[in-house]
Amino acid sequence: MWPSLKTLYLSMINMPDLNIIALQLEGLEETIIYHLIERVQYRKNSVVYEPGASGFRGYPRKSLMEIRLLFHERMDAQFGRFCVPEERPFSGRLPRPRRTVHLPVYPLALRDFNLVNLTAAIKQAYTTLVNIICRDGDDGQYGSSVENDVYALQAISRRIHYGAMYVAEAKYRADPGRYNELIRTRDRTRLMHELTRKEVEARIINRVKDKVARAQARSNLKIRIPIDPESVLAFYRDSIIPLTKEGEIIYLINRREILS
């Protein structure tokens, strides 16, 4: 369904500026950090990521984590989660919402929010992260492990998709002529250059590292497993930020001309 002209007009009014968007992204850091800290309380439990090893009836080819993610998203879909632009589903063929969700007008120039969907890459990067941050071995706590995987994956995905869509739109609006040219020629290299602010990225990753350390500062290490702040810094630097920028490029390339 294409938005009406009125919707498009409204959407131009409501656009938050880049400082507000950056603040929103900053606010999502705590959520990601809390969920990662919860996940590292359990061991790697690698078997939960092994396709076909779940022992869950009816899903012989999926891993336990994938089944939990699918069940969770089927539930979320009925509550209307994926009507929100930055909430992109990892699974396809989900049920429709069972409640009327009153949505604001989103200031995004996308025909279909799901054109920007980086969940496959997010799942891959996250599974690698689990291998780095969790202790080796198996504690049998498979249900708790995949439960926390789903919470962490959703928090990470929200941050990446929110950043991809809103940062790209805000930057586009600040200089439409320049971006139109780069979009027209599909110049990904120059787009990436245009979207990169090294000093902002450095500030983000150091702030995240600091938050991880602070969040754990009063935990009793006899029972709580700490997460290494450096590993979250590296995950932000090597996965979250690059995937956000990749999403910005996808957003811009799929941006509807009518708004420009």
What is the contact surface with a copy of itself in residues (CB under 8 A)?
A: 23-24, 26-27, 30-31, 34, 37-38, 41, 54-58, 64, 68, 71-72, 75-76, 78-81, 98-102, 104, 140, 143, 146-147, 151, 207, 210-211, 214-215, 217-220, 222-224
Residues written for the chain = 260
Residue number with CB closer to a copy of itself (26 or 238) = 26
Residue number with CB closer to a copy of itself (91 or 254) = 91
Phi-psi region of 117 (alpha: psi -120 to 50; beta: other; left: phi over 0): beta
Of 114, 239, 232, residue with least CA distance to 165: 114
- For 126-150, b/e burial (b = at least 16 CB within 10 A) is beebbeebbeeeeeeebeebbbbbb
Of 175, 155, 133, 165, residue with least CA distance to 42: 133
Residue number with CB closer to a copy of itself (13 or 223) = 223
> C-beta of 41: minimal distance to a copy of itself in Å?
7
- For 62-97, b/e burial (b = at least 16 CB within 10 A) is bbbbbbbbbebbeebbeebbbebbbbbbbbeebeee
Residue number with CB closer to a copy of itself (2 or 79) = 79
> C-beta of 98: minimal distance to a copy of itself in Å?
4
> C-beta of 113: minimal distance to a copy of itself in Å?
16
> C-beta of 3: minimal distance to a copy of itself in Å?
20
> C-beta of 40: minimal distance to a copy of itself in Å?
11
Q: What's at 85, amino acid-wise?
A: P
Which residue carries 């969940």 as its tokens? 119
Residue number with CB closer to a copy of itself (27 or 176) = 27
- CB-side exposure of 211: number of CA atoms within 13 Å? 20
Residue number with CB closer to a copy of itself (64 or 129) = 64
Of 141, 125, 142, 94, residue with least CA distance to 244: 125
Which DSSP state fits 198?
H
> C-beta of 107: minimal distance to a copy of itself in Å?
16
> C-beta of 220: minimal distance to a copy of itself in Å?
5
Q: What is the CA radius of gyration of the chain?
A: 19
Residue number with CB closer to a copy of itself (101 or 258) = 101
